[in-house]
A = this chain, B = another copy of it.
Amino acid sequence: MSYRCEQLTEEKVFKDPVHRYIHVRYKVIWDLIGTKEFQRLRRIKQLGTSYLTFHGAEHSRFNHSLGVYELVRRITENFTGRDAWSEDQRLLALAASLLHDLGHGPFSHSFEKVFDLDHENYTKAIILGDTEVNAILRKVADTFPEEVAAVINKSHEDQLVVSLISSQIDADRMDYLLRDAYFTGVSYGQFDLERLLRVMRPKKEQVVIKQTGMHAVEDYILSRYQMHWQVYFHPVSRSAEVILSRILHRVKELYQSGYHFKQTPDHFLSFFKGDVTLTDYVQLDETIVMFYFQQWMEETDFILSDLCDRFVNRRLFKFVSHHIDFDAKDWQMLYGAFESVGLDPTYYLVEDSTSDLPYDFYRPGESNERVPIYLLTPDDELIELSRLSTIVDAISGKTRSDHKLFYPRDMIERLPDSEAKNQIISLLKMTGRTGKNII
């Protein structure tokens, strides 16, 4: 081993409801877990707004990060002694797996979109910057922080290590499917982890799967598909996400228009201005954001106050499915009708689309090229998964999408009778599936 790598005198464990125990033998791992940058992940929920649909989903990214680490530990335990695998690679994989989500901010997806940020850059910045994490990584080797960042960034030349954390069948996905299923209480995320761990093999370019484990891989891919549609894209969670995103838009807009806040939103200023420092970034976790949302419920701006009340007290928007036969003219009319009753459609009539590609293989030249999953035959050949699996072939490369229109049913209900109100109701009915009450 070329890395400096101290072992703990006795193995330490964390009790984990998904993997029973998280086992730690390397001191560097133990020390990384103790850093303030890693502890911060306790204050960021793994599933963002999903807890408003599935009340059990209150688990944090801290949880998940330990889980990914544990899975990489177990996968690579089986690699020991095989060709194409060294202890140095193992330590690199373990550190990268633990830290792969380090840069996530509060309610990442909406936040990043509104403020034009990228959590992957912040992960890198924390690893390479003047941080506790960086200091600990450097004890292993001067180049270790760069190596870990490169693995997370997928740019490391050791694509085998990269594939453990970022591929179509990586420890990240395996942990979150199992963990999110556990905490939400749904059964869809289950797959045969034990079997998968037994059939993973290291090859030069990536982890591959022994052919005898094909059915376990199918099961895993179908679990992912089900979790996307049953949990991750659940329309109630999307509704909360839509409101969250509108809050951030509104507050940014107010700031830029010179609105006077009752209390200055100090933690947000650099985000509004677009000059966020690493310190600003890591200070903003979900406890801070929720503090402000509760403050903003008292602001004089009605839209900001209303949206924050909706998010904090779970008074979400309702939705209708958005069909394609709802054309531009209809849309314009609906938009107009909202305006005419005094509901700003920018904030109260929101389109939201989700789509998912359950599995894909490499299509040269296309954007989003994906490394396929390979099966390893008894003859030591590699065959791309969808060539052997009927089910995976059937769904391979097929994107599934869903479009919804979110609106505040309670507000429309309370409107006095008017032509505009009737128009809103009938236009919403037209776009949505029939037979369901709009108000």
Task: Please state if A188 and B219 are interface contacts (CB–CB under 8 Å).
Answer: yes
Task: Please state if A21 and B194 are interface contacts (CB–CB under 8 Å).
Answer: yes
Q: A287 is contacted by which of B34, B229, B290, B435 (Cβ under 8 Å)?
A: B290
Asked if A59 is an interface residue, CB under 8 A from chain B, the answer is: yes
Within 8 A of B (CB), among A181-199: 182-188, 190-192, 194, 198
Task: Please state if A16 and B185 are interface contacts (CB–CB under 8 Å).
Answer: yes
Q: A34 is contacted by which of B34, B219, B314 (Cβ under 8 Å)?
A: B314
Q: Could you tell me the distance in whole angstroms from the C-beta of A293 to the nearest C-beta in chain B?
A: 9
Q: Which residues of B contact A323 (CB under 8 A)?
A: none
Q: Which residues of B contact A56 (CB under 8 A)?
A: 15-17, 59, 63
Within 8 A of B (CB), among A6-27: 13-18, 20-21
Assess A54 versus B15: contact at CB under 8 Å? Given A34-B314, A288-B294: yes
Within 8 A of B (CB), among A49-67: 51, 54-56, 58-60, 62-63, 66
Give the distance in Å from the alpha carbon of A16 to the alpha carbon of B16 in the complex: 19
Assess A182 versus B17: contact at CB under 8 Å? Given A283-B294, A294-B288, A313-B36: yes
Task: Please state if B391 and A314 are interface contacts (CB–CB under 8 Å).
Answer: no
Task: Please state if B378 and A433 are interface contacts (CB–CB under 8 Å).
Answer: yes
Q: A187 is contacted by which of B192, B313, B379 (Cβ under 8 Å)?
A: B192
Task: Please state if A435 and B378 are interface contacts (CB–CB under 8 Å).
Answer: yes
Q: Which residues of B contact A43 (CB under 8 A)?
A: 290
Q: Which residues of B contact A215 (CB under 8 A)?
A: 188, 226, 229-230
Task: Please state if A435 and B377 are interface contacts (CB–CB under 8 Å).
Answer: yes
- Nearest CB to that of A21 among chain B residues? B194
Q: Could you tell me the distance in whole angstroms from the C-beta of A305 to the nearest C-beta in chain B?
A: 14
Q: Which residues of B contact A185 (CB under 8 A)?
A: 15-18, 20
Asked if A370 is an interface residue, CB under 8 A from chain B, the answer is: no
Mask of A410-439 contacts with B, CB within 8 angstroms, 1/0: 000000000000000000000001111000
Q: Which residues of B contact A434 (CB under 8 A)?
A: 378-379
Q: Which residues of B contact A36 (CB under 8 A)?
A: 312-313
Asked if A1 is an interface residue, CB under 8 A from chain B, the answer is: no
Give the distance in Å from the alpha carbon of A235 to the alpha carbon of B378 in the complex: 17
Q: Which residues of B contact A66 (CB under 8 A)?
A: 55
Q: Could you tell me the distance in whole angstroms from the C-beta of A59 to the nearest C-beta in chain B?
A: 6
Q: Most B CB atoms within 10 A — which of A313, A390, A434?
A: A313
Q: Which residues of B contact A435 (CB under 8 A)?
A: 377-380
Asked if A204 is an interface residue, CB under 8 A from chain B, the answer is: no
- Nearest CB to that of A53 among chain B residues? B15
Asked if A225 is an interface residue, CB under 8 A from chain B, the answer is: yes
Within 8 A of B (CB), among A219-244: 219, 222, 225-226, 229-230
- Nearest CB to that of A230 among chain B residues? B215
Q: Which residues of B contact A20 (CB under 8 A)?
A: 185, 194
Task: Please state if A63 and B59 are interface contacts (CB–CB under 8 Å).
Answer: no
Give the distance in Å from the alpha carbon of A17 to the alpha carbon of B194 in the complex: 12
Asked if A328 is an interface residue, CB under 8 A from chain B, the answer is: no
Residues on A facing B (Cβ under 8 Å)? 13-18, 20-21, 34, 36, 39, 42-43, 51, 54-56, 58-60, 62-63, 66, 182-188, 190-192, 194, 198, 215, 218-219, 222, 225-226, 229-230, 283, 286-288, 290-291, 294, 312-315, 377-380, 390-391, 393-395, 398, 400, 433-436
7 extra A-B contacts, CB within 8 A, seeds A15-B185, A55-B62: A16-B56, A17-B56, A18-B185, A34-B315, A187-B219, A222-B391, A291-B291
